[in-house]
Chains A and B, each alone.
Chain A
Amino acid sequence: MEELCTGLCSVLADSGADAGLALFLSLLVGVLLVSGVPLITVILLIWIERKVAARIQDRIGPNRVGPIGLLQTIADMIKLLSKEDITPTAADRILYNAAPLVSFASVVLLWAVIPFTPFHFGVDLEIGALYFVAVASFGTLAIMAAGWASNNKYALLGAFRVVALLVSYEVPLVFALLVPVLLAGSMSLVDIVNAQNGMWFVILSPLAFVIFYISSQAETGRAPFDLIEAESELVAGFNIEYSGMKFGMFFAAEFLHVFTNGIIMAILFFGGWMGPFYYESPLIAFAWLGAKGGLIYFTTLWLRNTVPRLRIDQIMAFNWKFLVPLSIANLIVVSFVLKVMQELGFAPGDMLNASFAELLPTTIILLLFNGAMIFYLLGILRKRGREARREAHGAHANFAQAGSAAGH
């Protein structure tokens, strides 16, 4: 996009347009091009999500409208357009109407920094990683506003849970995000991808990827962390009062957010556009990014449709007593080991120009340390699981005893 914007700007300026206007128009074209990608994918995503969910639940899914149901989303959109849109009289009108806009906009805004290919991206901000965290948390705000403005107890309960859940899981998310930033020595997403030329960061620090994956699943409010809209408890959660297209916007924002997280993970940990022949054509580079992001996206759908929902106390305990200490420990271990390697001269001082061979010793050592940590963690989890089972068994035995005593 960069050359396109600059090129268009100079062409317009040469043809006699005002310099400011030329810049504005070229930026506008850039914005429309970049935002076109998520807006088009979201139509496909809704179909994919429904189809995958159906297959996992042993159903067929949408298959009537268009070939293999591809036009289902269009039909749904037309249906939503013709639906009456009710604003409850008790609701806070301004917040109520603004919430779906903010929710969707916050996800689209993420795409401004996503590098599609080495040369095609909206903008390569020096603080791209921080921008991602900042903009993503706008979604939290929107859900909170929706729940509060609806003036409905179920919606408000959903909003309360959002605050607790999303805010908590942002801590391990950002700690995990610090690892790729640290390895690349840059917050720019383009630099982070380029730094993975020698080795993907998921191999250098698999634990950071796992933490990032779990927290981003929680950030999007998907199972097992879907207590924001727990149907059996809160009817629908924060969006219960919404109808018509406004509800549709929350729906689309959530689906797009999950896919965007997949793409972000592909960029941060799986080398983004890197892959065989990526330098041949931007289309191949883009296809690599899409394939990696799509695969990660698929696993999140799989997870969503497989695991049951956790209780809020379990979720909070898992975050604060497990994920947060783990993410801090991971950051400390990775940074310490890498620094020692650098001081001893085994690791390259800069990932950006390091080849695969130069990175091999670093990779092996970091993998060993990560493996040791994972092994230790599994040990802890097994011990805790055994304790919990024994406790449950004990409680059950006591209960049975009390029951038989009462029976006599």
Chain B
Amino acid sequence: MNVLNEWAFVGLFALMAPVFPALPIVIAWLFRPRKPNVLKSSTYECGVETIGDTWVQFRVQYYIYGLIFLVFDVEMVFLFPWAVAYNEMSLFGFVAGFLFIFLLTDALFYAWKKNALDWK
């Protein structure tokens, strides 16, 4: 298989994958009883009514973790080619990768010292 066919396989797989869980749901849709009423279709059927709007804003703490994650996620994508080329790499490329990791570790410790990693 050439590269294009490989990705055609993945593409077809991605198209087919939601079909497998959809199939039992559709079959259930054919068989299941339908007796909706107001109370049954309300949020949190048999519990106490909640107060206020449900769709509230995220706490800012989640954003801080999100930002730190973003930094590391991008770093890791850059590190994958470095890891793949590891065996053929010159010493310069190796040290460059080290410096890259070091800079981001530095960022982690900065966030740590700024108490951004504490759950408040």
Using a CB–CB cutoff of 8 Å, the interface residues on chain A facing chain B are 2, 5-6, 23-24, 27-28, 30-32, 34-35, 39, 77, 80-91, 100-106, 108-109, 112, 122-127, 129-131, 148, 150-154, 156, 160, 163-164, 167-168, 170-171, 174-175, 178, 181-182, 185-187, 235, 240-241, 244-246, 248-249, 252-253, 312-313, 316-317, 320-321, 324-325, 328, 331-332, 335-336, 338-339, 342-343, 349-351
Q: By the criterion CB–CB under 8 Å, are A104 and B21 in contact? A: yes
Per-position contact with A for B1-16: 1 when CB-CB < 8 Å, else 0? 1010110111011101
- Selected contact of B21 from candidates A101, A244, A343, CB within 8 Å: A101
Q: Which residues in A have their C-beta under 8 angstroms from that of B85?
A: 185
- 13 interchain pairs (CB within 8 A)? A84-B33, A104-B17, A104-B18, A106-B17, A112-B9, A127-B80, A156-B56, A164-B61, A164-B62, A171-B72, A178-B83, A245-B28, A320-B112
Q: By the criterion CB–CB under 8 Å, are A182 and B13 in contact? A: no
The verdict on A245 contacting B73 (CB below 8 Å), with A28-B12, A181-B83, A339-B94 known, is: no
Chain A at the B interface: SS class: helix
Count of interface residues, chain B, beta-carbon cutoff 8 Å: 69
Q: By the criterion CB–CB under 8 Å, are A6 and B62 in contact? A: no
The verdict on A244 contacting B28 (CB below 8 Å), with A31-B9, A89-B42 known, is: yes
Q: Which residues in A have their C-beta under 8 angstroms from that of B73?
A: 170-171, 174
Q: Which residue of A lies closest to B86 (CB)?
A: A182
Which residues from 20 to 69 on chain B have a C-beta closer than 8 Å to any C-beta of chain A?
20-22, 24-25, 27-29, 31-36, 40-45, 47, 50, 54-56, 58-59, 61-62, 65-66, 68-69
- Selected contact of B10 from candidates A123, A163, A244, CB within 8 Å: A123
- Selected contact of A108 from candidates B20, B80, B87, CB within 8 Å: B20
